[in-house]
Structure 1
Amino acid sequence: MTVELRPAINEDAPDVATVLIASRDAFLPYAPMAHTVPEIRTWVRDVLLPSGHVTVACEGAQIVGVLATARQDDAAWIEQLYLLPGWTGQGIGARLLAHALATLPRPIRLYTFQANEGARAFYERHGFEALAHSDGAGNEERCPDVLYELR
């Protein structure tokens, strides 16, 4: 298996959306989708990819992972890090995260759901520390979350 990382291009929009949707369906059943599938596909095409801060992990022509980052005020953010179901546990998420850590200034922050124990353990293994827990009132899914930071 040879997974390559590259910047996402506009033509990747359908596949990027598929990764986000399939991953959410498989790994986050406790977090209701805040948007319909067509709305997510439109957002990926019209907002996420034009931001220019999306990296995809590809096995051949297939996009198997997505990383989206941003810089806001005093921190950089990991906004999306998702893998297609069936592609976890192979080091792809770690490669995408390493790419983010190598290209973003510190501190780097992210949110994940409190119930997402796998993601929490993953980020903690990579040095992220929990800064705050919330009841979810501030996110679209209304699911309790955790704010993490890497200094």
Structure 2
Amino acid sequence: MSGFELRPARETDLAFARELTCCGMLRYYIRHDLLWLDEAFDVAWAGRENLLICQGAQVLGFVSLSRDQRALYVRELHVLPAWRGQGAGSWTLQQVFEMARKERRGLLRLTVFKDNPAQRLYERMGLQVVGADDCFWRMERSTAAVSAVPGRNE
């Protein structure tokens, strides 16, 4: 299969995650007149569950999660440029969706910049736009749905 796995991130992974996020998101921050602050990323990282996306010993990216009573939230999902388009993001979203189902949270939620092409991935994975805030779409998927990816025969 994919050979992907999720491993808990350690404090020593913070610099990697911050740099990957900044490199991928800075253009959106600039375009939407938002301020990137390393310190804000670090504080958010400390309060979330952070998992590395790996294939063997190779770290491909990470996902950062938070929860409330109703939902599991994908706060960050970033894959190294060399690994994009190879299924790591889709696989990770499916794993996170299964986590939400097992935890009996009714929804998987995330927020994405309106002009970020990752929105297409999220839509393919069954998330739908449910609201907007300035430059962001709020997206969610019910965990009551069948766990297979919509539109795929597995």
TM-score calculated relative to the size of structure 2: 0.75
**Residues in 2 aligned to 1:60 and 1:150: alpha-carbon distance in whole angstroms:** 30
Q: Does 1:149 align with 2:149?
A: no
Match of 1:17 in 2: 18
Structure with larger RCO (C-alpha < 8 A, sep 6+): 1
Distance in 1, Cα, partners of 2:78 & 2:61: 6
User: What does residue 114 of structure 1 align with?
Assistant: 114
Q: Are the equivalent residues in 2 in contact too, given 1:129–1:150 (CA < 8 A)?
A: yes
Is 82-91 or 59-68 further displaced after alignment? Answer: 59-68
Q: Of residues 62, 71, 79 in structure 1, which corresponds to 2:67?
A: 71
Matches for 1:2-151 after TM superposition, within 5 Å: 3-25=4-26, 30-32=31-33, 34-36=35-37, 38-39=38-39, 43-44=41-42, 46-48=43-45, 50-51=46-47, 53-59=49-55, 61-104=57-100, 105-116=105-116, 118-134=117-133, 136=134, 144-151=135-142
Deviation at 1:19, TM superposition (A): 1.5
Aligned mates of 2:80, 2:10 — CA distance in 1? 18
Change (3 A) 1:82 1:31: farther
Residue type at the aligned position of 1:128: L
Matched-pair identity in %:
24
Gaps of 5+ in 1: 137-143
Is the alpha carbon distance of 1:12 and 1:72 closer, same or farther for their aligned partners in structure 2, counting shifts above 3 Å? same
* Count of aligned residue pairs for this structure pair: 137
Q: Is the 8 A contact 2:127 2:139 kept in 1?
A: yes
User: Aligned with 2:36: secondary structure?
Assistant: coil
Q: CA RMSD in A?
A: 2.5
Supply the distance in 2 between the matched residues of 1:127 and 1:14 (Cα, whole angstroms). Answer: 31
SS in 1 for 2:25: helix
Alpha-carbon shift at residue 83 of structure 1 (Å)? 1.4
Given that 2:48 and 2:66 are in contact with CA atoms closer than 8 Å, whether structure 1 keeps it comes out as no
8 A contact 2:6–2:52 mirrored in 1: yes
Q: Distance in 2 between matches of 1:60 and 1:85?
A: 18
